[in-house]
C-alpha cells in the first residue's frame, strides 16, 4: 500500500517545507513535511538539522521559521572559508541538500511509518480497512513489515511507533489466528539485536507457550523444531521457562490465555486476565505503567487517566525498558534488514 501518495493520509504539501527521504537500495522517494518528520524523534531531528533548510516556509499551524533561519546562518558560517564557486554550487543544488537516504531500510516498511507519522490517531483503523482488501500473501507481507517497523522504531528510539507496530502485529495474528512459527523465533533470537527485539521476543515466547499447550494437534509437529531451537538459542529456552514460571505465579492457564488477544485496558476484572493480556503487556513502558492508562492513549486523547496500581504482571520485568542516551543510526547499524519469511 502506497500510503505516502494517498491524499487521505498525507493531505496537501502545498506551502509546506518538505524533505525527500530515499529508502532502500531502489531509493524509493518519499516527500514528507520536514517539521513533522523532524519532530517525531531525536534521530530525525539530528539528521535533518544537519541539512540546510532551503527556505523558512512552514505549514500553517506549525510555527514560524526561527529554527530554519538559525540553521541557515550556521551553514553560511561554515561555508565562509570555501571558494566562491564551490559555495555557489552547493547553494544552487537544492535537491541534493534536501535528501535523506536510508539505504538499509525496506521501502514498504517505511510506507507504514508514513501512515503512522501522519495519522497516529487513525493508524489502526487505516490498517484495518486496508487488510479487508488484501490477499493472503499481502497480509503476510504486512506482517513482515510490521516486524521491521517495530525493530526500526526500537533502533531510532521511537517508543510510540514501536508500540503501535506491536499492537498492529497482535491484532493481525488474532484476525488470522496465526501460530508462532519456528522460523520467526529463529529470526528473533538468531538475527536480531536482543535489545531491539526484547518486546517482540516476550510476545513470541508467550505465543509459543500458548501454541504448544493450547492444541494437541499442534504440539507434536512443533516438538522437534522447538527442541532444536532451544538447543541453538539458550536465551529462548530461558525466556520460555521464565514465562511459564510467571504464568504459574499469576495462576494463569497457558492453554487459555491468548497472547493474540490485547484487552483494551490495563486494569482488568478478575475473569478477564485469564483469557487475554493487558493493553500494555508488550509495550515499551510496560514496566512502569502498571494498571494505569496507556501513555500513548493519553497523549493522543483517546482515553482518560486511571488509577495507577500494580499487582504483579504475568510477563516478567527486566532492565531493558530504560531509556538510552545513544541513538544508533539505522543507516549503518540496523542488521534486521534481510527479507523475513515468518511463515
CA distance 16 to 98: 13
pLDDT at 257: 85
Quick one: cell of 258?
491468548
Averaged pLDDT for residues 116-134? 92
59-82 pLDDT tens trace: 554 444 444 444 444 444 444 444
Q: Alpha-carbon distance 191 to 274, whole Å? A: 33
Task: Give the contacts of 316 (CB within 8 A, at least 6 positions apart).
Answer: 202, 242, 243, 246
User: Would the pLDDT of 154 be above 70?
Assistant: yes
Q: Which residue has the higher pLDDT, 329 or 3?
A: 3
- Quick one: 298 exposed, middle or buried, by C-beta within 10 A (0-12, 13-18, 19+)? middle
Give the cell for residue 92: 544552487
Mean pLDDT to the nearest integer, 37-49: 94
The answer, as to whether pTM is greater than 0.95, is no
Query: Which grid coordinates belong to 319?
Result: 532492565
Does pLDDT of 164 surpass 50?
Answer: yes
Q: How many Å apart are CA 116 and CA 165, to the nearest integer?
A: 9
Cross-strand partners of 31: 20
Q: Where are the domains of the chain?
A: 17-102, 107-333
Q: Closest by alpha carbon to 264, among 181, 337, 170?
A: 170
Instruction: Tell me the HSE value of 256 on the side-chain side, using a 13 A CA sphere.
Output: 9
How far, CA to CA in Å, does 97 sit from each of 53, 56, 226, 254?
8, 15, 50, 54
- Which one is predicted more confidently, 238 or 306? 238
- Rounded to 5°, angle at Cα 124 from 193 and 287: 45
Question: Out of 161-165, 171-175, 279-283, which region has the weakest mean confidence (pLDDT)?
Answer: 279-283
The answer to whether the CB of 150 falls within 8 A of the CB of 111 is no
Burial class (CB in 10 A: 0-12, 13-18, 19+), 266: buried
Amino acid at each position: 500500500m502506497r500510503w505516502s501518495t494517498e491524499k487521505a493520509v498525507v493531505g496537501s504539501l502545498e506551502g509546506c517545507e518538505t524533505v525527500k527521504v530515499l529508502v532502500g537500495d531502489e531509493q524509493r522517494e518519499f516527500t514528507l513535511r520536514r517539521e513533522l518528520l523532524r519532530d517525531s524523534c531525536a534521530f530525525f531531528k539530528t539528521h535533518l538539522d544537519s541539512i540546510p533548510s532551503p527556505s523558512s516556509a512552514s505549514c500553517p499551524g506549525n510555527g514560524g521559521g526561527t529554527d530554519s533561519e538559525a540553521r541557515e546562518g550556521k551553514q553560511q558560517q561554515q561555508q565562509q572559508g570555501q571558494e566562491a564557486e564551490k559555495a555557489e554550487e552547493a547553494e544552487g543544488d537544492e535537491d541534493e541538500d534536501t535528501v535523506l537516504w536510508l539505504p538499509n531500510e525496506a521501502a514498504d516498511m517505511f510506507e507504514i511509518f508514513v501512515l503512522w507519522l501522519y495519522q497516529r490517531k487513525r493508524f489502526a483503523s487505516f490498517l484495518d480497512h486496508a487488510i479487508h482488501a488484501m490477499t493472503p500473501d499481502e497480509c503476510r507481507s504486512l506482517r513482515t513489515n510490521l516486524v521491521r517497523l517495530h525493530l526500526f522504531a526500537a533502533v531510532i528510539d521511537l517508543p510510540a511507533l514501536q508500540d503501535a507496530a506491536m499492537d498492529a502485529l497482535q491484532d493481525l495474528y488474532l484476525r488470522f489466528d496465526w501460530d508462532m512459527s519456528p522460523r520467526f523465533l529463529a529470526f528473533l533470537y538468531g538475527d536480531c539485536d536482543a535489545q531491539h527485539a526484547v518486546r517482540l521476543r516476550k510476545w513470541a515466547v508467550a505465543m509459543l507457550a500458548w501454541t504448544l499447550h493450547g492444541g494437541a494437534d499442534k504440539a507434536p509437529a512443533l516438538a522437534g523444531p522447538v527442541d532444536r531451537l532451544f538447543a541453538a538459542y539458550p536465551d529462548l529456552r530461558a525466556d520460555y521457562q521464565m514465562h511459564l514460571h510467571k504464568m504459574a505465579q499469576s495462576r494463569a492457564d497457558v492453554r487459555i490465555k491468548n497472547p493474540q488477544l490485547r484487552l483494551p485496558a490495563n486494569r482488568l476484572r478478575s475473569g478477564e486476565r485469564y483469557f487475554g493480556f493487558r493493553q500494555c503487556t508488550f509495550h515499551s513502558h510496560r514496566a512502569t505503567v502498571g494498571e494505569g492508562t496507556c501513555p500513548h492513549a493519553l497523549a493522543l486523547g483517546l482515553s482518560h487517566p486511571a488509577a495507577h496500581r500494580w499487582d504483579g504482571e504475568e510477563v516478567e520485568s527486566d532492565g531493558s525498558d530504560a531509556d538510552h542516551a545513544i541513538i544508533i543510526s539505522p543507516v549503518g547499524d540496523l542488521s534486521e534488514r534481510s527479507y523475513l519469511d515468518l511463515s
